[in-house]
Amino acid sequence: MSADPTQVLAFETDCHLFDGCGFADVAPGLHSFLFEPLLGHQDDAVYFNKTMLLALLGSIIIVGFFWAAFAKPKVVPGKLQMVAEAGYDFIRRGVVYETIGKREGEKYVPLIVSLFFFIWMMNLWSIIPVAQFPVTSIISYPAILAGIVYVLWVSLTFKRHGFVGAWKNFSGYDKSLGAVLPLSMTIEVFSNLIVRPFTHAVRLFANMFAGHTLLLLFTIASWYMLNGIGIAYSAVSFGMVLVMTAFELFIQAVQAYVFVLLTCSFIQGALAEHH
């Protein structure tokens, strides 16, 4: 749950069931995803807020972790190096090699590993005390990441196939389709160049947005009903907080995995020969 002062939270308003205030007074909403600037002002063109701070800290943590793990690598790895190697190797072999292939995919391993651990860390902030907010629930972050992948995919397609070949790749050109070919190509171009990057970003954003909203809902409900006969309902709601937290741990890793898996699929499609 976010600790931003602009958010109307149950424990700040001291609003409980049977106290005469409605749950709507403390329910989560879009205000739960808005933060006052830590540096600068809301009306400024550039300012620094909580989500930016979490993104910066997350990046530092990831770089620091891998730096500490591989700064002085050993033939017989220590615990930190072993964990880092396991994570790196999982993405390299289980995602990149399996999707793109070893020969073509090796050069993209650093990018895919970086994307996976960055997204995972941004997701994990949701359940880390004090932070308690998934950075990827702000659409601009998944959109930028999807944009990077989109530019890479399009540029690779043109580089590998040339101008005409790239458009055949984007449009799924197949002369055997006959009269329906123009319609098929239009749909394919729209799907590949517009829908694909949109869904790539929204899939990550929507899952993190929904998960955080549910956590907020059950957390606030636990406090709101902590009064009189509502204590029994509060206990059930708190139990759901624990269940949702465990479920979020799973979803956070899955969404990072799905994002990089799709990224590898796009790259593989750009490199593959069009038939």
Residue 5 lies in a domain: no
Q: CA dist 164 to 33, 69, 128, 170, Å?
A: 44, 46, 49, 10
Measured at the CA of 51, the angle between CA 47 and CA 52, to 5 degrees, comes to 50
What tens digit of pLDDT does each residue of 100-151 get? Answer: 999 999 999 999 999 999 999 999 999 998 888 999 999 999 999 999 999 9
Q: State both tokens at 86.
A: 């396991």
38, part of any domain? yes
Assigned domain for 33 exists = yes
The domain total for the chain is 1
Asked whether the whole model's pTM tops 0.95, one would answer: no
The domain in which residue 105 lies consists of 10-271
Per-residue model confidence as pLDDT tens digits over 66-79: 999 998 888 888 88
Can you tell me the distance from the alpha carbon of 134 to that of 128, in angstroms, rounded to the nearest whole number?
9
Query: Which is nearest to 197 in space by CA: 157, 160, 158, 143?
Result: 143
